[in-house]
Amino acid sequence: MIQEVFKNLDVKIIMEIIFKTVLCVALVGFIGYNREKKGMVVGIRTHVVVGLAGLLIQLTSLEYYRLNGGNNDVFRLAGQYISGIGFLGAGTILKDKRSVKGLTTAASICLVAIIGLAVGSGIYISSIVITCVAYLFLNDVFKFKKIITIKRNSHAHIEIETSGYIMTTVEAIKDMFRNFGADIISIEVSKQSTEKTRIRFKVNLDDELDINEILAEIIAFDEVNKAELIEHK
């Protein structure tokens, strides 16, 4: 049986498979190198293995399509593979209190899987172009972060204690937040006694704002006895 397999091998097909394998390793290894250079857990080896798995899946699908006389869907296995890669990508995402890390690496894992499938399908030029463009963006060659300023926001819970008229205090603090460019998400009022009231503001703040400066402004109101930051994320 082994002799029959080798007897039916076409030199042209063998050379095509070797070319696809080398090209796939070069392209996905290029992306993996960037991730490893940046100190990510998922580096060259993982990217190459993911890309080669995609390559083999597509080669298998195309060969089965040929042997079956064109009666099967060549993208069925590829679709299942991409779904499975999503779980691998999710494993690279880490979340702490104020940030999410690993999203770019998760995206690169999905990218190399698709590159492997594309190379296996013989879509060489598109695979090379997409890999080069992705590498340029991963290295921020175009310096978009310097050209485009992206403001990031965070949520803060600020609680105040007041002995003044509630509506007057709330309106004054709302105006103060607007002056800082903050968006008020919710306001909770709880009566502590006949003289004291606690008001909790949940606000959306620009990360560049100084939270201590905001608290100082609130304390400056005559009606406010106390102001404190309960949560900031």
Query: pLDDT, tens digit, for every residue of 90-99?
Result: 777 766 555 5
Please tell me whether residue 49 adopts helix, strand or coil conformation: helix
Residue type, 83: S
Residue 205 sits at the vertex; the CA angle it makes with 202 and 206, to the nearest 5 degrees, is: 170
Residue after which a domain boundary falls, among 85, 120, 147? 147
10 Å CB burial of residue 171 (0-12, 13-18, 19+) is exposed
67 with 132, same domain: the answer is yes
Is residue 118 over pLDDT 80? yes
50 with 127, same domain: the answer is yes
Parent domain of 196: 153-232
- Please give the pLDDT value at position 158: 86
Q: Are 137 and 149 in contact (CB under 8 A)?
A: no
Within-domain flag for 29: yes
Is residue 134 over pLDDT 80? yes
176 with 201, same domain: the answer is yes
Q: Mean per-residue pLDDT for 172-200?
A: 82
Token pair of 90, please?
């999710």
Beta strands, E only, 12-163: 94-95, 100-101, 153-162
- Please give the pLDDT value at position 119: 92
Residue type, 195: E
Q: What is the CATH number of the domain that holds 194?
A: 3.30.70.260
Is residue 152 over pLDDT 70? no
Is residue 24 over pLDDT 90? yes
